[in-house]
Structure 1
Amino acid sequence: MNRAPLGLSAKRAQNAALRIAVGIATTGRPLILRRVLERLREQTRVPDAIVVSAPSMADVSGVNTDLPDLRCITGDRGLTIQRNAILRAVSDFNVVIFLDDDFVPSPRYLEVVEQVFQDAPDVVVGTGRVVADGILGPGLDVDDALNMLRDDGSAAASTREIVDVYNAYGCNMAIRLDAVRAGGLTFDETLPLYGWLEDVDFSRRMAAYGRIVKISAARGVHLGAKSGRQSGRRLGYSQVANPLYLVRKGTCSRRKALKLMSRNLAANVAKTFRPEPYIDRAGRLMGNIRALLDLMGGRLSPERVLNL
């Protein structure tokens, strides 16, 4: 693939200090958010700024918004909308690290990311290693995450490997802003609410400007908190509508889209009558079916999820 120049020389990338911001889009999790913000202040390399994007000030209740390096902005709800607000707020930084409001980073997370982005100027997106992901189960609490990261400390210090990947995992995603500026890139607001697969879409558009990599030593735990998430019916609709939209857009391969849809549909069918207590399988299946009917009727669109 031919890659457009970033206008950032290798010498500058290796020798100049980077200005790094952390961006967090949050909804309905102020207690968890406060714990994550505490964790960011314990980093071996603290962020130069933290920008929290929320639908209302109630979503950041209890957060000390008077801190000089913290900015809280409010606006419309939706992951892609909120992340675009963060992009506008950090437009003069070198790197923004998007973290979910329930992602707990290891103490050296920012330090490791900075080192990779300085040493490898062709890297435009980096995603860390998720030591444990509560999204695959009932969820984890912050104390669980801290214990896991404490036990994982020796492994985190022992590897400096980076490997190329198809896309970053949106719960922790570092973005080189020179590439964003070069392409005039934003998150696609056609993907509403939870914005399922926004990480795939944004990663593949960033791939025109450099490498997408996994950074093994940048580690963390994704709590997979169940509060603040969209309904099962809406997620089920997005499980069909969003991959097909990205195929038409050219940011997701047909093979990957088919794999995602078939895996989710099969899981929803198989587990509807004996669902996990923390997953609305019946709702997801109903959303899947509604999306397939809309597909046959020529009405399928990610934004139709707003009518469910």
Structure 2
Amino acid sequence: MTPQTPSSPHPGAAGGPSRWSDLERPPLDAAALRRALVRPGGLWTALDVVPETGSTNTDLVERLRGGEPVAEGTVLVAEEQTAGRGRLDRYWDAPPRSGLFLSFVLHPGPAVPRAAWSWLPLLCGVGAATALARTAGVDTALKWPNDLLADVDGEERKVGGILAEHAGGAAGGEPGAVVVGVGLNVSLRAGELPVPGAGSLLLAGAARTDRDPLLRALLRGVEQWYGLWRGAGGDAAACRLQEAYAAGCATLGRRVRAELPGGGALSGEAVAVDGGGRLVVATADGTRQAVDAGDVVHLRPAR
């Protein structure tokens, strides 16, 4: 989910209007969302919207690790997160109802090898980017492995991110579950951005910033790609997920620096995303190395 640092005071801080009086940021209608998304035979089986929580990912992971049988397709949405988490335990903050902050549970099951589960954050990125292009009219690119980028005043800005965590407790003896969290900056104004490199759909010129249709489109996009991927036994090439990700990936063709877990870095040109969802980097000495985790910095624009 989008890494951020504490932002400026929310609407409703001392001397300001109530944080629930911002008519440009209406609350989500949980009942309407359930009617639209939860249906027999579909992926989404339950959907709740809470006014505030620390982290939707933490809430679902703790339920699963505590032994609670949380069904696949359970979705938890928060109007505000007070302890949102991104990759590498980064914390972030945003004004209430200024974005989409949600997590959902997936049970890929024994038909999908565990090695293929690494595709889940990339899969959700493709679903989200497709949804934003169609619904908000924003051309959204993917930064490997899990960032959503958009153009703001001629600059590439991060507008969202995805975090996938493995958790035990899957029902029916399945080999665990995955909790996927999505954070998307929707209506943040320039003065509300936490860091210079951040952005929002509003600042990217979105045709609409109504979170309800955005959330519906995002979850439907994920559902479509998840069904194709799972039906192919997790083979990202066979279901054309690998092709779709590469087509929308802003990292490919660029010179990058990968900050590797445990220290160290790798620099070179990002040339491919392989069958395991790893980023393949061609180094100056002519070798190619696959990176399966780490922070990637774009060092120059794509050709």
TM-score for both structures, normalised by structure 1: 0.29
Q: Name the one with the larger strand percent.
A: 2
Q: Name the one with the larger helix percent.
A: 1
Bigger relative CO (Cα 8 Å, ≥ 6 apart):
1
TM-score for both structures, normalised by structure 2: 0.29
